[in-house]
């Protein structure tokens, strides 16, 4: 998605006839760097989200086991 946006910006720049090709190259380079930085940030966020999801699932499983043990203890006292 970001690369498509970058491509669109570059295409529009060519079609509008920028006055300075050096300036345009610098802008394209800057945009490319920003896209790369955002891509890395998204990758890190996805990894963190996957880690958090796994930890939440582990906590839910531990909570279920604890509830089951408590139910078992309560049943033994009622007998």
- At 53, list the tokens: 């999801």
The answer to whether residues 6 and 36 touch, using CB atoms and an 8 Å cutoff, is: no
pLDDT of 17 over the 70 cut: no
pLDDT of residue 78: 67
pTM value surpassing 0.85? no
pLDDT tens, 23-59?
888 999 999 999 999 999 999 999 999 999 999 999 9
Alpha helices in 1-79 (DSSP H): 2-16, 21-78
Which SS3 state, helix, strand or coil, does residue 18 take?
A: coil
């Amino acid at each position: 998605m970001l690369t498509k946006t970058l491509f669109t910006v570059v295409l529009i720049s060519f079609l509008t006839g920028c006055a300075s090709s050096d300036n345009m190259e610098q802008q394209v380079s800057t945009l490319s760097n920003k896209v790369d930085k955002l891509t890395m940030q998204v990758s890190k966020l996805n990894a963190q989200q996957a880690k958090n999801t796994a930890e939440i699932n582990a906590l839910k499983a531990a909570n279920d086991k604890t509830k089951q043990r408590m139910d078992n203890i309560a049943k033994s006292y009622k007998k």
